């Protein structure tokens, strides 16, 4: 009898191990889908923030979210209508100028006696980007796959934004009842941190676009609007984004003159200092207090693990990860006060023992 009990216990242990292995394998296979779900949550935070402006007028949640989506597309469409022709033409011109700019830069380096193969470096960068793209999944980067993924993210964002509590409560049902309050606070904090981070980051990107455009126009660099939009978009990727955004600008500036290229480098360094010393602290103060080293290595880790999609989502992933570590480990395991989103004394707020009342998203 004891032998049978031992065999049964061993069989249960084997089944548990196999279940964890199967779960890990499923998560590995579905990692791109999980990233798309997270992207939908990020977009849902934006939609929900816009919807709250309509809810203040007594409009119901579903209608408010619908109006927010329409308003979001209207804003995007208006910007595209006003600047679309100019910017698209500049992007075409930028793509055509890059090869000539590389050749011009190589000739200038040769004239200065600098032993550096710019052409090979550009090929290496292209190869690295291709590698990151391939890790992101070939289905995701094809034309049809990209459109399908964008539609999937937008549709998921609408569903999440309409009934955020429904999905949060579904997650809570998966945890033991004595841990529901902890997970509820973690979800609410994650939602609040994402919202605050997005508000500050969008403001930072707008400032970067304006500064870059004005600076490049004053320097006479071609395709200033396209290069400024690239700088603003890549500003969402900490540290690495601004560096990558500066590469095409400097190459295009070299096609004009070496002096213009040097001034362009100076411009991007000044903007980077403004972003790092003024805008980034504002973002951290309004969301979570992340150290620069954490953000830097988070970008590298996300790119290594998840490819280009991970790099794009590295900042919001880090924000959510920071909040979860604070609530689930620092507070629950170590018994120390958790750093929660938003300003507070030393970034630390007292633990709220009551049920979380915030509406996520």
Residues in contact with 149: Cβ distance below 8 Å, sequence separation at least 6, in sequence order: 36, 140
* Assigned domain for 135 exists: yes
- Do residues 181 and 331 lie in contact, with contact meaning Cβ atoms separated by under 8 Å? no
Domain, as residue range, for 302:
83-141+181-347
Alpha carbon distances (Å) from 33 to 114, 141, 193, 249, 306: 46, 14, 23, 34, 11
* Assigned domain for 256 exists: yes
In the chain, beta strands by DSSP E = none
- Mean pLDDT value across residues 291-311: 79
Distance CA 340, CA 347 (A): 7
List, in sequence order, the alpha helices (H) in 173-257: 180-219, 224-234, 240-256
* Assigned domain for 246 exists: yes
Q: Is 310 left (phi over 0), alpha (psi -120 to 50) or beta?
A: alpha
Residue 174 pLDDT: 81
CB atoms within 10 A of CB 223: 24
- Single out the residue of 350, 24, 313, 59 nearest to residue 194, CA to CA: 313
* Assigned domain for 189 exists: yes
Report which of residues 293 and 115 the model is more confident about: 293
Query: How would residue 212 be classed by pLDDT, with cut points 50, 70 and 90?
Result: very high
Is 80 exceeded by the pLDDT of residue 317? yes
The SS3 call for residue 358 is: coil
* Assigned domain for 287 exists: yes
Residues in contact with 105: Cβ distance below 8 Å, sequence separation at least 6, in sequence order: 118, 251, 254, 255, 261
Residue 322 pLDDT: 85
Distance of CA 207 to the CA centre of its chain: 18
Distance CA 40, CA 24 (A): 23
* Assigned domain for 150 exists: no
Distance CA 34, CA 149 (A): 12
Region of poorest pLDDT, from 47-61, 128-142, 259-273, 327-341: 128-142
Is 50 exceeded by the pLDDT of residue 358? no
Region of poorest pLDDT, from 17-21, 40-44, 60-64, 325-329: 17-21
Report which of residues 294 and 144 the model is more confident about: 294
**Domains in the chain: how many in total?**
1
> Whole-angstrom distance between the N-terminal and C-terminal Cα of the chain?
55
- Do residues 148 and 142 lie in contact, with contact meaning Cβ atoms separated by under 8 Å? no
Residues in contact with 19: Cβ distance below 8 Å, sequence separation at least 6, in sequence order: none
Query: How would residue 345 be classed by pLDDT, with cut points 50, 70 and 90?
Result: very low
pLDDT in tens, 102-160: 777 767 677 777 766 666 666 666 666 555 555 444 444 444 466 778 888 888 888 88
Is 70 exceeded by the pLDDT of residue 218? yes
Alpha carbon distances (Å) from 301 to 169, 176, 241, 297, 298: 31, 31, 15, 6, 5
Distance CA 264, CA 100 (A): 18
Residue 354 pLDDT: 40
* Assigned domain for 13 exists: no
* Assigned domain for 60 exists: no
Residue 350 pLDDT: 42
């Amino acid at each position: 009898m004891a032998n049978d009990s031992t065999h049964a216990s061993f069989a249960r242990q084997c089944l548990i191990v196999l279940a964890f292995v199967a779960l890990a394998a499923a998560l590995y296979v579905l990692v791109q889908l999980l990233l798309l779900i997270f992207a939908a949550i990020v977009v849902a935070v934006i939609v929900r923030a816009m919807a709250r402006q309509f809810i203040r007028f007594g409009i119901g949640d579903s209608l408010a979210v619908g109006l927010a989506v329409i308003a979001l597309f209207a804003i995007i469409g208006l910007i595209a209508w006003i600047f679309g022709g100019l910017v698209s033409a500049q992007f075409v011109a930028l793509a055509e100028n890059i090869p000539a700019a590389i050749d011009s830069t190589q000739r200038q380096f040769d004239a200065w006696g600098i032993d550096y193969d710019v052409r090979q470096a550009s090929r290496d960068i292209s190869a690295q980007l291709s590698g990151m793209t391939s890790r992101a999944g070939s289905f995701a980067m094809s034309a049809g796959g990209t459109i399908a993924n964008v539609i999937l993210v937008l549709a998921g964002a609408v569903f999440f934004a309409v009934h955020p509590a429904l999905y949060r409560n579904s997650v809570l049902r998966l945890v033991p009842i004595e841990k529901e309050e902890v997970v509820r606070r973690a979800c609410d904090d994650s939602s609040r941190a994402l919202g605050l981070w997005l508000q500050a980051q969008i403001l930072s990107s707008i400032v970067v676009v304006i500064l870059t455009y004005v600076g490049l126009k004053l320097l006479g660099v071609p395709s200033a609007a396209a290069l400024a939009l690239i700088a603003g978009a890549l500003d969402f990727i900490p540290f690495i984004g601004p560096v990558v955004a500066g590469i095409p600008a400097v190459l295009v500036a070299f096609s004009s003159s070496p002096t213009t290229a040097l001034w362009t480098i100076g411009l991007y360094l000044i903007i980077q200092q403004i972003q790092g010393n003024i805008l980034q602290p504002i973002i951290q103060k309004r969301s979570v207090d992340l150290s620069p080293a954490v953000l830097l290595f988070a970008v590298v880790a996300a790119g290594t693990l998840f490819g280009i999609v991970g790099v794009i989502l590295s900042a919001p992933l880090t924000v959510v990860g920071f909040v979860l570590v604070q609530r689930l480990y620092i507070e629950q395991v170590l018994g120390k006060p958790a750093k929660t989103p938003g300003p507070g004394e030393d970034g630390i707020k007292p633990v709220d023992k009551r049920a979380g009342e915030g509406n996520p998203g």
